[in-house]
């Protein structure tokens, strides 16, 4: 076939900031991932999350040498390091002779990753009641203690008030499974907190910085913006704070003030994605990373409506005012002069110059459009009154179709919203069939930010479908002015969500095929779209009407190995049901269905049986053939 490009023709200009990334602390993307800290649960604050039995001693175990004895416990009492870092490790020492006793940290995944010749900075806060002090021996070793990966760091803790101690290792071996051992001699009570091991070699050499290989993979995309910190993480859980006043709320929405200042004074949180997060990677680090990438920072703040299945509007006027003020303070933290209250905090952290924030998102995927919009406009009006140049971004709820979506758009339009963030995850066929989605969007309405999207797998066919779809985004660059694939990162041992753009364990990382597609588009952004036509054996996408699915089979039947192809035999989607039925959904009112023993079972008294891929509930008229192995019925 022939593609004809009208180089002189004029299509919409493409915003140079069109493509960026969306970082959310999901799939343990931060601790044990992008945040380079190597010690897991360094501040002993882990608490159970959902049904997961995290404790203050998660990833820690006791160790003793010959003659060493004692006990360890994670304790929250008046001897704590500070009000927001409440639990510490209490080590009761009953050693005899040269014996030592202490705690071993097992890091993330297989352990602590070290590279021979590189430097690693150890630090700890400690206090002891031993009159002559407590000697500490800190080692990098294997689990059994037979191999050492560096010469030990030796320190002596003096005095029963909290002080920071530090030392540096130079690794003599390379491994992905080291342990950090902190052993103490003598007797008495030793208290430890913020036990930390950081590679010196972080991205751009930043202290408290980012894991180099992951940050470099993100940098290689040349993102023009970075959205953070979520996602569902932002507006789920309690909207109250981690303060004595609010009752030390755990499982909170992401509240930026928790995440700045000295790391030992930052609160930790039990997050929506089922694990504890340290906030070592906090708002200052996000802004710094954006600057290092040459990307615009795009923070997302909670709007006091919980999303992601929690679907609750919080009715507390004082709390709403506090969150609105927090958002104004955030803008001052980013942009205010070093003499302003919050600008001074940024300067104290090492960045007197402003970070140049020009847009902010309020809320994420709220399922209650009316309640959300009532709050959004209050945020927006307060921000605009003080900072008229800041773009305030809204969203269209969790679905890309349906009544919530329609209502959200109606409200966004009615309230003159500048930009609406849309999210959708769908099948490759959906992306192929919906290439023209934005052709019909109102040119005079709000701009669209496709803030989260992915075709639901990490195969080549997914990446191709995304690439095809992105041509549709660019063709509509006058409406779609920003786009970001999601999620960005996934630790292979802690996956809550797939597909993902970049995968990693504790010493390796690799991009998916979708990563290559994003890189191709993101590093080759044109100035404007030029009209093109295709002639030959290519069918133009067809309007979405009619039915697709197992529409010819009736009543109680079992099927396996279902494959749906287009008329020319092109595979559109398939499933052997071995992983359950989560990819499929029946159309409303069309019988019952389930997966039993790896087979799809359908029981239906209507004239048609229809099932579609999950999330793909639209009727469509497409020339399809469906094949399945019929097992019974």
**Closest approach of ligand AHR to the CB of residue 616, in Å:** 16
Catalytic annotation, pick one of 37, 183, 264, 365: 365
Single residue of 37, 399, 400, 452 touching ligand AHR by CB under 6 A: 452
Say which residue the tokens 């469509």 belong to.
620
Q: Is residue 24 involved in binding ligand AHR (CB under 6 A)?
A: yes
* Closer of 185 and 231 to ligand AHR (Cβ): 231
Q: Which of 91, 486, 501, 572 forms a contact with ligand AHR (CB under 6 A)? A: 486
199's CB contacts (< 8 A; 6+ apart) are 36, 38, 118, 119, 120, 121, 211, 212
**CA–CA separation, 342 and 354 (whole Å):** 11
Minimum distance, C-beta of residue 367 to ligand AHR, in the bound complex (Å): 11
Q: Is 230 in the site for ligand AHR (CB under 6 A)?
A: yes
Using CB under 6 A as the binding rule, whether residue 487 contacts ligand AHR is answered as yes
Residue among 120, 109, 141, 108 at smallest CA distance from 42: 108
The nearer residue to ligand AHR, 343 or 487, going by C-beta atoms, is: 487
In whole angstroms, the minimum distance from the beta carbon of 536 to ligand AHR comes to 37
Each residue 512-541 as x (binds ligand AHR by CB under 6 A) or -, in order, gives: ------------------------------
- On whether the CB atoms of residues 131 and 75 are closer than 8 A, the answer is no
Q: Give the nearest distance from C-beta 400 to ligand AHR in angstroms.
A: 11
- Comparison of 387 and 425: residue with beta carbon closer to ligand AHR: 425
Site residues for ligand AHR, 297-326, by CB under 6 A, read 308
Catalytic, 410? Answer no
Closer to ligand AHR by CB, 24 or 507: give it. 24
Least distance to ligand AHR, CB of residue 22, Å: 7
Span from 126-134, 170-178, 180-188, 228-236 in contact with ligand AHR (CB under 6 A): 228-236
Should residue 423 be labelled a site residue for ligand AHR when binding is judged by CB under 6 A? yes
The CA distance from 487 to 518, in Å, is 13
Say how far apart CA 283 and CA 303 lie, in whole Å: 18
Binding to ligand AHR by residue 497, rule CB under 6 A? Answer: yes
Phi and psi, residue 106, nearest 5°: -100, 5
Which residues, listed in sequence order, are joined to residue 82 by a DSSP beta bridge?
85
Residue 45 vs 400, nearer CB to ligand AHR: 400
Shortest gap between Cβ of 595 and ligand AHR (angstroms)?
A: 24
**Nearer CB in complex with ligand AHR: 230/302:** 230
Q: Among 14, 18, 21, 26, which residue sits at the site for ligand AHR (rule: CB under 6 A)?
A: 26
Stretch that binds ligand AHR, among 229-237, 261-269, 323-331, 348-356 (CB under 6 A): 229-237
DSSP state of 72: E
CB of 586 to ligand AHR, least distance (A): 22
| Comparison of 365 and 613: residue with beta carbon closer to ligand AHR | 365
CA gap 431, 462 in Å, rounded: 9
Judged by beta carbon, residue 136 or residue 308, the one nearer ligand AHR is: 308
CA distance 618 to 200: 52
d(CA 178, CA 199): 13
Whole-number Å distance between alpha carbons of 275 and 26: 9
Report, in Å, the least distance between residue 374 CB and ligand AHR: 21
**Which is closer to ligand AHR, CB of 155 or CB of 308?**
308
154 contacts: CB under 8 Å, gap ≥ 6 = 135, 136, 137, 138, 167
Ramachandran bin of 341, using left for φ above 0, alpha for ψ from -120 to 50, beta for the remaining angles: alpha
Size of the site for ligand AHR (CB under 6 A): 13
In angstroms, the Cα distances linking 631 to 31, 559, 600 are 47, 5, 9
Min CB(463)–ligand AHR separation in Å = 17
* Three-state secondary structure of 394-458: EECCCCCCCHHHHHHHHHHHHCCCCEEEEEEEECHHHHHHCCCHHHHCCCCCCEEEEEEEEECCC
Query: Measured between alpha carbons, how far is 310 from 236 in angstroms, rounded to an integer?
Result: 7
- Which pair of structure tokens corresponds to residue 378? 């209050």
* DSSP 8-state code for residue 587: P
Does residue 37 contact residue 278 with C-beta atoms inside 8 Å?
Answer: yes
- Residue for token digits 């009208």? 6
At closest approach, how far in Å is the CB of 428 from ligand AHR? 18
Distance in Å from the first CA to the final CA of the chain: 45
Question: Smallest gap, in angstroms, from Cβ of residue 365 to ligand AHR?
Answer: 5
Residue for token pair 């997060």? 277
* Of residues 223 and 354, the one with the C-beta less far from ligand AHR: 223
Please say which residue, 482 or 557, places its beta carbon nearer to ligand AHR: 482
Gap between the Cα atoms of 412 and 8, Å rounded: 36
CB 25 within 8 A of CB 272: no
The residues near 328 (Cβ < 8 Å, ≥ 6 apart) are 382, 383, 386, 387
Whether 526 contacts 14, CB under 8 Å: yes
Cα atoms found within 13 Å of the Cα of residue 248, Cβ hemisphere only: 10
Site string for ligand AHR, 346-375 (x = CB under 6 A): ------------------xx----------
Q: For ligand AHR, which residue has the nearest CB?
A: 231
Q: Which of 32, 107, 223, 231 binds ligand AHR (CB under 6 A)?
A: 231
Contact 467, 483 (CB under 8 A): no
Contacts to ligand AHR by CB under 6 A: 24, 26, 230-232, 308, 364-365, 423, 452, 486-487, 497
The residues annotated with a catalytic role in the active site are: 365
């Amino acid at each position: 076939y022939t593609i004809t490009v009208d180089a002189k023709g004029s299509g919409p200009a493409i915003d140079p900031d069109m493509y960026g990334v969306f970082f959310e602390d999901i799939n343990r993307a931060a601790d044990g991932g992008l945040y380079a800290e190597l010690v897991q649960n360094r501040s002993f604050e882990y608490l159970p999350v959902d049904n997961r039995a995290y404790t203050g001693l998660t990833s820690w175990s006791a160790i003793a040498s010959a003659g060493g004895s004692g006990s360890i416990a994670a304790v929250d009492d008046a001897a704590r390091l500070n009000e927001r870092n409440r639990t510490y490790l209490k080590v009761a020492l009953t050693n005899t002779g040269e014996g030592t006793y202490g705690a071993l940290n097992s890091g993330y995944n297989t352990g602590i990753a070290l590279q021979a010749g590189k430097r690693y900075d150890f630090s700890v806060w400690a206090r002891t009641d031993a009159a002559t002090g407590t000697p500490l021996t800190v080692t990098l070793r294997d689990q059994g203690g037979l191999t050492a990966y560096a010469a030990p760091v030796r320190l002596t803790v003096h005095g029963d008030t909290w002080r920071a101690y530090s030392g540096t290792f130079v690794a003599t071996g390379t491994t992905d499974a080291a342990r950090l051992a902190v052993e103490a001699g003598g007797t008495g009570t030793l208290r430890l907190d913020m036990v930390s091991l950081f590679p010196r070699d972080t991205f751009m050499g930043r202290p408290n910085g980012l894991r180099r290989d992951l940050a470099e993979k993100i940098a290689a995309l040349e993102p023009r913006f970075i959205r953070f910190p979520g996602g569902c993480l932002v507006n789920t859980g309690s909207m109250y704070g981690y303060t004595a006043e609010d009752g030390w709320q755990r499982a909170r929405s992401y509240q930026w003030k928790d995440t700045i200042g000295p790391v030992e004074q930052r609160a930790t949180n039990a997050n929506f994605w089922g694990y504890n997060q340290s906030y070592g990677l906090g708002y200052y680090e996000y802004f710094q990373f954006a600057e290092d990438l040459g990307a615009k920072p795009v923070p997302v703040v909670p709007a006091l409506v919980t999303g992601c299945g929690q679907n609750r509007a919080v009715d507390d006027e004082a709390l709403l005012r506090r969150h609105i003020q927090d958002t104004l303070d955030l803008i001052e933290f980013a942009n205010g002069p070093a003499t302003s209250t919050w600008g001074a905090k940024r300067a104290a952290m090492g960045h007197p110059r402003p970070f140049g924030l020009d847009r902010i998102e309020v809320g994420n995927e709220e399922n209650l459009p009316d309640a959300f919009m009532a709050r959004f406009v209050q945020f927006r009006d307060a921000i605009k009154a003080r900072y008229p140049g800041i773009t305030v971004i809204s969203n269209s709820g969790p679905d890309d179709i349906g009544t919530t979506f329609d209502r959200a758009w109606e409200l966004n339009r009615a309230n003159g919203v500048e930009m609406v963030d849309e999210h959708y995850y769908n099948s490759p066929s959906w992306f192929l069939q919906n290439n023209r989605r934005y052709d019909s969007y109102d040119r005079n309405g709000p701009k669209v930010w496709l803030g989260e999207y992915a075709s639901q797998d990490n195969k080549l066919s997914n990446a191709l479908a995304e690439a095809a779809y992105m041509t549709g985004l660019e063709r509509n660059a006058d409406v779609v002015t920003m786009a970001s694939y999601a999620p960005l990162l996934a630790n292979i041992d802690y996956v809550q969500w797939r597909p993902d753009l970049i995968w990693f364990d504790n010493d390796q990382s690799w991009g998916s095929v979708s990563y290559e597609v994003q890189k191709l588009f993101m590093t080759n952004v044109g100035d404007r779209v030029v009209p093109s036509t295709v002639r030959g054996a290519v069918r133009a996408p067809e309007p979405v009407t009619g039915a697709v699915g197992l529409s010819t089979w009736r009543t109680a039947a079992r099927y396996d190995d279902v494959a749906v192809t287009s008329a020319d035999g092109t595979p559109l989607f398939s499933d052997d049901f071995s992983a359950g039925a989560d990819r499929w959904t029946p159309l409303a009112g069309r019988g019952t269905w389930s997966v039993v023993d790896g087979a799809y079972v359908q029981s239906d008294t209507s004239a048609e049986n229809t099932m579609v891929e999950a999330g793909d509930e639209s009727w469509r008229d497409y020339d399809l053939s469906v094949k399945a192995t019929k097992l019974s019925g």
